[in-house]
C-alpha cells in the first residue's frame, strides 16, 4: 500500500478508504512515520467522520486503513 499512497501524493490523486468505521474520501498530502507508526496526512473532503465536520485535515494510521482506492 505504501507505493500506492506515494504515487497518489505525487500524481495529486484522490483516495478513498475505510477507517474508523467510516468510508472516507481525501486528498493525500504527506506520508511518513510518527512515533514508529506509518501515517498519512490527508485533507478529507467527503465520506463520514465521527470527529467533526468536513472538509478537515486528518492524520490516519496507514495500518488501520482498508479498501484503498486511488482515483
Give per-residue pLDDT as tens, 43-61: 999 999 988 889 999 999 9
Q: From CA 52, how far away is CA 10, in angstroms rounded?
A: 28
List residues bridging with 16 in a β-sheet: 25, 69
Interior/surface letters 45-58, b for 16+ CB within 10 angstroms, e for the rest: eeeebeeeeeeeeb
pTM of the model: 0.92
In this prediction, residues 13-34 reach a mean pLDDT of 96
Answer yes or no: is pLDDT of 24 > 90.
Answer: yes
- Residue 1, pLDDT above cutoff 80: no
Percent of the chain at pLDDT exceeding 90 = 89
Amino acid at each position: 500500500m505504501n507505493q500506492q499512497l506515494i504515487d497518489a501524493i505525487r500524481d495529486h490523486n484522490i483516495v478513498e478508504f475505510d477507517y474508523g468505521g467510516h468510508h472516507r474520501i481525501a486528498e493525500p498530502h504527506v506520508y511518513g512515520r510518527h512515533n514508529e507508526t506509518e501515517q498519512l496526512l490527508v485533507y478529507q473532503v467527503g465520506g463520514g467522520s465521527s470527529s467533526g465536520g468536513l472538509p478537515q485535515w486528518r492524520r490516519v494510521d496507514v495500518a488501520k486503513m482498508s479498501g484503498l482506492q486511488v482515483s
